[in-house]
Amino acid sequence: MSNEPSNRKPAAGLTASDSQWWNWKSKGKQSVVRGAGSGLGYPAERGRGGSGASSSGGANTSPATALLPPKSQTGGSSNSGSSRRTGSMQPTRQLPSMPEIGRPESFYAKLVHTADRQGDTHAHEAAKVGQYVTLAMDPSLSWEDKLKYFQHALKRHCVPPPYPDDDVWMFYQQLAELVRAHCGQEALRLASLEDDLYAARLSMGQSRDKIEDDAEQYFGRLLGSGDHCSEWFNDTDWSQLKLIRDQWI
C-alpha cells in the first residue's frame, strides 16, 4: 500500500496550523505540537501543550512543577509558619478595672480576699482604693476625717511597684486620679454649703468682717495654707474651690 501523494489537500474546516500539522503527517514525520507560551514543543502524546493549559483556565504548569505535591504548589508552607508564630504568642496581661464606689464594706472585703488568694496585687490595691474612698464619702464625717481616708488611699494604695512598665504605671495613676476626683467632689459640696450659709448670714445683716473671719478659718482647713494645689485635689477642682473661697476672704 503506497503513501498518499504529498500534494493531497487537507480536509475542510482545518485551520492554518492544522494544515501544517497535516503536511508533516502526510510526509511520514513524527507529529508534534508547537508550544504556545514558552516556545518549547512537547510530543503530542503527552497531551501537555501550552495552549491546552491556558484554554482550561488553570495555571501554566511546567514539567518541573507538575510532579510536586499540591501543597508545595499552593504555598502550604506559609500556613505552617503562621501556626508556629501563633503558637508562640504569649497571653495578654489584663489589669483590673477601676473600683466601684459606694458598695458595702463586705463587698470590698470579698474582693480583697479573692485578690490575695490569687496573688493579684493590682486587684488588691484597687479594692482597697474603692473601700477607703467609699468610707470618705460618708456625709456624717467631718472634713478632717474624710481627708484621712483620701490621704491613706493615695499614699498606701495608689503607689506603683518598683520599676513598673507603662501599663502598670498608668493603672496606678488612674487610681490616684479616682481618689482626687472624689476628694474634690466632696470638698466642692462642702464649700458650696458654706458659701450658701455665708450668703444667708450676709442677707440677714451680719457683719461681713465676721463672716470673713469665719471663712478664713473654714477654707484654711478645707484647702490648707498657701495657694498651691494640694496633692489630694486635681487642678480643676482646686481652681473652683479657690473661686468660692476668694468671694469671702
Cα torsion 197, 201, 202, 208: sign:
negative
Q: What is the pLDDT of residues 20-46, one digit of tens each?
A: 544 544 444 444 444 444 444 444 444
226 pLDDT band, cuts 50/70/90, is confident
**For the chain, which residues make up each domain, given as ranges?**
105-246
pLDDT band at 167 (very low <50, low <70, confident <90, very high): very high
Q: What is the pLDDT of residue 20?
A: 52
Q: What is the mean pLDDT of the chain?
A: 77
pTM to 2 decimals? 0.63
Is the pLDDT assigned to residue 11 strictly greater than 50? no
pLDDT attached to residue 241: 97
Across 182-214, b (16+ Cβ under 10 Å) vs e yields bbbebbbebbeebbeebeeeeeeeeeeeebeee
Per-residue pLDDT, 225: 78
Whether 19 contacts 11, CB under 8 Å: no
Closest to 136 in 3D by CA, of 151, 128, 148, 146: 146
